[in-house]
Structure 1
Amino acid sequence: MLKLSEGFYRSFRLISGKQRRFNARWLRQYPWLKYSVSLDAVLCAPCLLFDNSKSRYFSSLPFNDWKNLSTAISRHETDESHKDSMVKSENFVDISTGKQESVVSKLSSSIKKTVENNRYILRRIIEVLLLLGKQNIAIRGHTEENSNFMVILNSFAQTDPALAYHLEFANKNEKYTSPDIQNELLGLCADQVIKRIITRCRSSNYFAIMADEATDCSTKEQLSVCIRFIARNEGKHELHEEFIGFVTCPSIKGTALAQAILQHVQDCGLDILKLRGQCYDGAGNMAGKYNGVQALIRERVPLASYVHCKSHCLNLALVHTSKLQCVRTMMKTVQDITFAFSYSGKRLEAFANELAEDAVTREKLEGRQKLRTLCETRWTSRTDALMTFRKSFPVVVHALETLEADNDEKAGEHVRAILRFEFIITLVTCEHILSSLVGLTAILQQVDMDLVEAVREANVVVSLLRAEREDEAVFDEVFQKAVDIASEFQIGACVPRQNMNQRNRANYQIADPKAYWRVALYYVFLDHLIQEITDRVMSNQDRFCAQLLIPSRLDELNDDHVNAIYATFAQDIASTRESFGGEIQRWRVRWGQANLLRPSTLLSTLDVTSKAAYPGIYLVLSVLATMPATSASCERSFSSMRRIKSYLRSTMTGDRLSNLGILHIHREIEIDIDEIINSFASVKCRNLDFV
């Protein structure tokens, strides 16, 4: 095809008796016209390329009748096929030069816009679910239309036209607001949180597990599983205890619980062979020597040492100490009176009226308006309850007397039970001794608490109690406080009735009340408590010997200790006994230098320990720090469980409970919603396109 320039001429041909030839002026007059030199004819370029019609001049058939060319061109320009071809050619040129998008591009843009809109709608749905889940707000309601989820979603739609259009006109199977979709999205969000936790855990050498079981409001056994590991943050070592889910257990036997724990840990993506510690309470199914969870897991992972929860040990120490008859009687009396005031509107009103008239007691109570109940399982929390009862003692007595005058026989029994010197001295003494344990209780529940610090703090409390026992002035002050309370109600200090033949209770032949209660109550309660804490809280296993590697205690380390440490951690230490001994020698020399501040905790020691220079010591200290001191994180998760699965939401499934628990407990972890949408789209084919 050739466009002729000015002055280009072909030879003449005889047409209708006259010599004629092609004129180049026609090409300028009709830009779509093209001349073929070989054929000595013209064609319509757009029709040749875009018109599929056959036996048509200018398209499939060349035209060279120069006499009638003008007439043929006029007729061709009015042809509809030519017009269509011209439009197509112009579009083709515009697309080729980038002036216009192609059809494929236009279709692709439309699909892209649809996907973006679908992702936007799903994002708003996920945002509402995360808001409800993290803040522990019920998602569903009695009807789906009036559920919190739909109400909040419709509220957002009032200012969001795209969401409003979707909720109004989308097909029922394309709204993505059903309970099944909610559960699926909640599961994906919880999985993302767990993946982030597991990623941090994998960066550590080892990890430990903590587990405990409790019954939810639908009478199902829920097993709380937490993991503990060391992570580094800006060069510092940090201990993490993270909740990784609830597991519904059909059985609470040790075999079933051990299998559930191992399966859940492996499902989360952790290597069970890196397990180095496990912490549970002292129940037989958890701590049993042969068929308990700890024994069954150690059959699978022999290096997973068991630690009896130190908080539970402290609780057991108080339980056994409080078996003293006068203490047990006092506790029961306080509990009965507290229940009487807490669960009766009439009695509570009498207490409130008496409190309103007693400005001194109101100041002592610091804003409290009622008595505190004694927790059946948390004995260490009883300190607050006993303190509240002691401070409000006058108000309690006057309220009970008012109720007795109003024919409340039970109130009369209560007032006679507490208006005895034996009750008052026992109340004041127990409150004083138990107050020494408040700090230890709080410290044991901290996430960064390790075995070394737990025993160290327990030793501080024991030393304090022993010092108070030797200091007679301490009990003198306690006794005087009891005498002051009793004197307000004309009660004199006295001793119980004594009998030479008494065998069932303490029968000390002491006439002086102060001396009697010092021996019969104070010393007995204190000695028993000290012994119980020493035996239960401060006892540890072979791994605990590794604490002597802490620089502040390095002077106590001898060869026997080194042999014991190596024997205990031999399967983890990647060196011989001689190499480990040489490492210990270099460790001694390093911290034997003068004017060098020695760390006193495991974490501070790890911060200054080079893993390359002291691999064995670093590993031993890491394992010891990883071993949990308590299972308090599991107990905290049960508090969340009872808020999430209440009697109004008792039909919640185990998976939904676990997912909501993860989102609520780890609400500070940000969720990547785009990743959730991608995962949601990849699980199976959806009615709407999201990718």
Structure 2
Amino acid sequence: MLNRTFGNKQRKLNGKWLMEKKWLRYSKSKDAVYCVNCCLFGGNDGREKTFTSGTSDWKNLSSLLKRHESETCHINASSRAESYLDIQSGKCESINKKLSESSRITVNNNRHILKRIIEIIVLCAKQNIPLRGHTAENSNFDVILTAFAKNDEILSDHLASAHYNAKYTSPDIQNELIGICAEHVKEKITSACRNCPFYAIIVDEATDKSTKEQLSLCVRYVDDNCCVNEEFLGFVECPSIKGTDLCANILSFLQEVDLDILKIRAQCYDGASNMSGKYRGVQALVRERSPHANYVHCKAHCLNLALVHSSNIPCVRTMMSTVQDISFMFDYSAKRLNAFCKELSQDTAARAEMEQRTKLRTLCETRWSSRADALATFKNAFSVVLHALETLQEDGDDKAGQYLGGILRFDFIIALIVAEHLLSSTVALTNLLQKEDNDLLHAVEETKVVVQLLRNERNDADVWDALYDKASNIAAEFDIQPSRPRRAARQNHRANPDVHTVSDYWKVTLFYVFLDHLVQEIESHILSNQDRFAALYLLPKRLHQLQVEMLPAIYAAYAPDIDHTFESFNNEVARWKVRWNIAENRPVRLQETLQKTNKDLYPCIYNILAVLLTMPPTSASCERSFSAIKRIKNYLRSTMRTERMSSLAILHIHKDMDVDISKIINTFASKKGRKLDFF
């Protein structure tokens, strides 16, 4: 430290002051002392500038130090310096950190509140629980939310203190969150579908409770694991059901979900003219935009049409009408149902055959294969029905007397036995066709099994004898004689074969006619061939039937999905034959074959089999979505808009699919400015 002359004396800085005053700093270059606290943390409003600009007045330094320590600006600066040192050493948190922590806690609480609200909405949607009620206070949503709040302090405080427009429980917010959740699920499905080289569309239309035409759209695709996926994507309201309008709605929907129309390889609809029309039907219009989208007539509808047409025999038609009327009579009258239940309780044998059922089953107007169960129930409860009708007739019920006369006829009994037997042979096929993982080839093969079974029964005399004996035994129990209509030489308006026995008459006019018509209808509707079906000979169990002449047709049918020349395809088929000739275990189903096919070694065959597996055999997935409509949009919720109904249906149908609530909150918060902070 340099000496300074003050009068006749030499003065210099006393080092003791630096030890006592922690805030004092000495600058060797300036030969002056400074207040580090005031220099770094002092404001501009302080009047004392001595120690901010530096001083070397060693003579008066003692008094200057005392005066500076008492200054307000020095005290404030020292306090700020002390706080800074405490923050740096970790003894306390900074203001920014405290503010940031407070903001983080607020955001976490807000997200927790919205998470609870979304969880309740998703729960209600998946379980088809209506969210609203006659009043907001008594709605299912508010009641469940209040129950959740009892064990959730954060949610409880929010419901009690939040502003009315920041509670996020209003119907508009519910609809918005339902839509976001549905879009989240739909994006999962469409994302998986976009990753596939091709897919199929399944479309059907139906009328909802408010008499609005709803178009159900599903997609079918095969993922990387060779698993078949049939997924529902939503409903579209259709003011018009013309083919052009329906096609426009379908293509617009596919564009909205970002699915490439050119990747469509199959389209499955029912046989209505607006869907299947050759020129102006939906299938023709879609093929104009996507040429490789082959039309598949729903095989379940085809089977149903076969049953409808084959059941048009007069005695069968009359029998079914009588069964339906009697079933309705017991179903919609408490008095008549009580009479039926009373007779059933006294008939142990009938009660055992009905398998604990207490009512007759009505005949479904659309699903004719289900009529087999209804006819079987009626047959097993025949004695109960007859005695119940007798009791009601004695009680003055004239309609019961009319129905009693209708069933106490041999033509009714024999028609009931034959129709129930033949319809029951198609039940297993109907159930198979409705499975999502089914494929066209397997459906056709099983249909051929049913056809062959029916033909075998036609040629087996024992089958008819057993049916006739069963009808004769039921008739004998009620003193009904087996009979046939009177034969006339010039009769042209009903069956009039030249047979000698009652059994032969019903065998020729009922059993043969019904069975032959059913086989013919099944063959014409379900077993109709397509160019793509020729690829079934690539299956290992059919390779021995594959002819060289078939290869050009197979190659041409699948050319858009084969990136190799015909010569390469021919060589690949040759290697394919050798592979399965030396293999011990050969797959039977199309899906099993695809799973055992190496995509790199057999790229052409892999794509052909994948396209075949992608083609849907039925539109049962759309029919299942219509069942969801009946549950969601019932008579109590008939004013629901299509957008909300479609979103609820997506969440309800895909209830096994998880919803990422964190992503839902992020999407909800980023759509527009919110009253609460979620980021």
Moved more, 509-518 or 96-105: 96-105
1:185 maps to a residue whose letter is L
Contact 2:33 2:51 survives alignment (8 Å) = no
1:529 aligned onto 2:505: no
Unpaired runs of 5+ in structure 2?
Answer: none
1:126 aligned onto 2:118: yes
Q: CA deviation at 1:39?
A: 4.7
Q: Counterpart of 1:44?
A: 35
1:178 maps to a residue whose letter is S
- Superposition map of 1:285-684 within 5 A: 285-593=274-582, 596-684=584-672
1:85 aligned onto 2:77: yes
1:147 aligned onto 2:139: yes
Q: CA deviation at 1:384?
A: 0.5
Q: Counterpart of 1:100?
A: 92
- Superposition map of 1:69-84 within 5 A: 69-84=61-76
- Tell me the distance in 2 between the aligned counterparts of 1:59 and 1:386: 109
- Tell me the distance in 1 between the aligned counterparts of 2:476 and 2:70: 123
- Tell me the distance in 1 between the aligned counterparts of 2:607 and 2:589: 15
- Tell me the distance in 2 between the aligned counterparts of 1:613 and 1:38: 84
1:25 maps to a residue whose letter is K
Q: CA deviation at 1:13?
A: 2.8
Residues 3-59 of structure 1 deviation map (CA, whole Å, 9 limit, x = unaligned): xxxxxx5414326x7654321111111211223445544332212222223541444
1:24 aligned onto 2:15: yes
- Tell me the distance in 2 between the aligned counterparts of 1:563 and 1:38: 98
- Tell me the distance in 2 between the aligned counterparts of 1:57 and 1:427: 115
Contact 1:13 1:20 survives alignment (8 Å) = yes
Q: Counterpart of 1:157?
A: 149
- Superposition map of 1:9-20 within 5 A: 10-14=2-6, 20=11
Match of 1:592, SS state, is helix
Residues 589-611 of structure 1 deviation map (CA, whole Å, 9 limit, x = unaligned): 22223x53322221111112121
2:162 counterpart (147, 170, 176): 170
- Tell me the distance in 2 between the aligned counterparts of 1:461 and 1:224: 31
1:637 maps to a residue whose letter is S
Moved more, 281-290 or 600-609: 600-609
Q: Counterpart of 1:33?
A: 24
Match of 1:567, SS state, is helix
- Tell me the distance in 2 between the aligned counterparts of 1:539 and 1:502: 37
Q: CA deviation at 1:95?
A: 2.8
- Tell me the distance in 1 between the aligned counterparts of 2:45 and 2:388: 109
- Tell me the distance in 2 between the aligned counterparts of 1:202 and 1:61: 72
Q: CA deviation at 1:493?
A: 1.1
Q: CA deviation at 1:499?
A: 2.4
The verdict on how the C-alpha distance between 1:586 and 1:84 changes in structure 2, with shifts beyond 3 A counting, is same
Q: Counterpart of 2:238?
A: 249
Residues 482-539 of structure 1 deviation map (CA, whole Å, 9 limit, x = unaligned): 1111112111111123322322111223342111111111111111111111111111
Q: Counterpart of 1:283?
A: 272
2:539 maps to a residue whose letter is I
The verdict on how the C-alpha distance between 1:555 and 1:40 changes in structure 2, with shifts beyond 3 A counting, is closer
Match of 1:439, SS state, is helix
Instruction: Compute the TM-score of the two structures, normalised by the length of structure 2.
Output: 0.97
Q: CA deviation at 1:152?
A: 0.6
Query: Equivalent pairs: percent with the same residue?
Result: 55
- Tell me the distance in 2 between the aligned counterparts of 1:345 and 1:172: 50
Match of 2:435, SS state, is coil
Q: CA deviation at 1:115?
A: 1.2
1:686 aligned onto 2:674: yes
1:124 maps to a residue whose letter is R
Q: CA deviation at 1:474?
A: 0.8
Residues 249-272 of structure 1 deviation map (CA, whole Å, 9 limit, x = unaligned): 111111111111111122112111
Q: CA deviation at 1:560?
A: 2.2
Pairs aligned (count): 678
Residues 40-96 of structure 1 deviation map (CA, whole Å, 9 limit, x = unaligned): 443322122222235414444544444544444333333332221111001222333
Residues 152-190 of structure 1 deviation map (CA, whole Å, 9 limit, x = unaligned): 111100111100111111112211111121111111111
Match of 1:623, SS state, is helix
Match of 2:483, SS state, is coil
Q: Counterpart of 2:198?
A: 206
Match of 1:181, SS state, is helix
1:274 counterpart (263, 270, 293): 263
Match of 2:485, SS state, is coil
Q: Counterpart of 2:186?
A: 194
Match of 1:539, SS state, is coil
- Tell me the distance in 1 between the aligned counterparts of 2:536 and 2:53: 100
Contact 1:57 1:63 survives alignment (8 Å) = no
- Tell me the distance in 2 between the aligned counterparts of 1:62 and 1:551: 99
- Tell me the distance in 1 between the aligned counterparts of 2:326 and 2:406: 10
- Superposition map of 1:209-224 within 5 A: 209-224=201-216
Residues 390-426 of structure 1 deviation map (CA, whole Å, 9 limit, x = unaligned): 0001110111111111111111000000011110111
Match of 1:571, SS state, is helix
Residues 535-593 of structure 1 deviation map (CA, whole Å, 9 limit, x = unaligned): 11111311111111111111111122111111212232212222222222222222223
The verdict on how the C-alpha distance between 1:37 and 1:622 changes in structure 2, with shifts beyond 3 A counting, is closer
Moved more, 103-112 or 340-349: 103-112
2:311 maps to a residue whose letter is S
Q: CA deviation at 1:145?
A: 2.3
1:153 maps to a residue whose letter is L
Unpaired runs of 5+ in structure 1?
Answer: 1-8
Contact 2:185 2:657 survives alignment (8 Å) = yes
1:308 maps to a residue whose letter is H
- Tell me the distance in 2 between the aligned counterparts of 1:188 and 1:54: 59
Contact 1:317 1:529 survives alignment (8 Å) = yes
Match of 1:685, SS state, is coil
1:207 maps to a residue whose letter is Y
- Tell me the distance in 2 between the aligned counterparts of 1:23 and 1:572: 95
- Tell me the distance in 1 between the aligned counterparts of 2:59 and 2:551: 117
